[in-house]
Structure 1
């Protein structure tokens, strides 16, 4: 059976959702067995904003997949999510959103069994305003299509399950054949830090170079 590549699924889903329910920025991502978001596909969102989120604010995000295990919620507005976490964390996350002129966020989850398998995050700026109740109803209808699309995602690779999100990001970039300089730019770190990351990753996976790492994890 032919399996649609995950990037194709992400692109089609982002296009459909943002055409029907306009959003200034959006992201499609998969969810691993540790309930961490990974393999992000971005729409209208800068790399700077995305890195800032991953490095400094993800832990304060009330819409993280880990908060919606065994939940019947599939379309989660920001206000509802914030009401379910400590106020100080909500304030920190709101600060992040304000830095990028975001006034509202909605997360749409696709579940496999009792846990989220993938999701789309939709963000709106002050110019667009908050999502209306009618638009939330539209997203609830679209969620069924997301659920069907995610059913075509390739199975998750157990070889990546022992890696941290940062290590997984590096491994996936190495599979694309990026150089150390490109890694440094993507991770927003210096070359010495990239080399340290690589050494630690090689040691953790029991390999000695990039080629062996890619073969071990992906072939």
Structure 2
């Protein structure tokens, strides 16, 4: 089976979905077997909004793969996802959406071996309104294309096989360029603990910097 660069697959999928179902913003991303998200490709979304999400709101996202994995649904509307998480988290995530004028979100997942492998997040503004039942049906039909595309995604898991789940999480976050402070917030630990994790991770992989680590694991 031919392996196609992730960015090419992301671009084609985003084009197909956004041409057929009107949205204001969209994002394609991959999901590893530990439900860590990586390789974002953005459509109509500012870097500022994306960084704000990663730094401050990702942990409240009801559509994150770790919250949706157990359902194995392919198309997950925001309202359905919010019904299964605490109200306080929903309020925080709504604050994020309202800040950027978003009124509705749908996540479309492609699965492999029973868990998410990639997804497209579709966002609509007040001018567009919430997704209609007809549009949700269209997204369900389009999901088959996303499922086919996933079969051609390159695999990055081998390089991470010897790492612990915590080390893999740190590696993916480093790949996204997060700071030590952001790492500490994501892992809910102090900065000294983060520095210890990084020292151990660098030694295990045999590198001396973040850049070398990302190159060794992902390039």
TM-score per shorter chain, which class? 0.7 to 0.9
- 3-state SS, counterpart of residue 155 of structure 1: coil
- Hey, what does 2:174 align to over in structure 1? 170
What are the residue-to-residue correspondences of 1:112-191 with 2, within 5 Å? 112-160=112-160, 162=163, 163-165=167-169, 167-171=171-175
Q: Give the CA deviation at 1:216.
A: 3.3
CA distance in 2 between partners of 1:128 and 1:4 (Å)? 33
- Structure 1 stretches lacking a partner, 5+ long: 174-182, 188-192
Q: 1:214–1:166: structure 2 CA closer, same or farther, 3 Å change rule?
A: closer
Aligned residues of 1:29 and 1:40 also touching (Cα < 8 A):
yes
C-alpha displacement at 1:208, in angstroms? 2.5
- Residue in structure 1 matched with residue 71 of structure 2 by the alignment: 71
Please give the alpha-carbon distance, in whole angstroms, between the structure 2 residues aligned to 1:18 and 1:205. Answer: 40
**Whole-angstrom distance in 2 between the partners of 1:13 and 1:93:** 26
Instruction: After TM superposition, list the pairs within 5 Å mapping 1:11-90 onto structure 2.
Output: 11-90=11-90
Alignment match, 2:8: 8
Q: 1:177 aligns to what?
A: none
Q: Structure 1's 212 and 78: CA in aligned 2 closer, same or farther, altered over 3 A? A: closer
Alpha-carbon distance in 2 for matches of 1:51, 1:21: 25
Q: Does 1:206 align with 2:206?
A: yes
1:218/1:126 Cα in 2 relative to 1: closer, same or farther (>3 Å)? closer
Q: Output the CA distance in 2 between the equivalents of 1:22 and 1:36.
A: 28
In the alignment, is the contact (CA less than 8 A) between 1:160 and 1:168 conserved in 2? no
What do the CA deviations read for 1:106-142 (whole angstroms, capped 9, x no partner)? 0000000111000000001111111110000000000
Q: 1:210 to 1:100 in 2, by over 3 A?
A: closer
**What is the RMSD computed on CA atoms of the aligned residues?**
2.6
Aligned to 2:95: 95
Answer whether contact 1:31 1:118 (CA < 8 A) is retained. Answer: yes
Gaps of 5+ in 2: 183-190
**Superposition misfits of 4+ residues, deviation over 6 angstroms:** none
User: Does the 8 Å CA contact 1:70/1:114 hold for their aligned counterparts?
Assistant: no
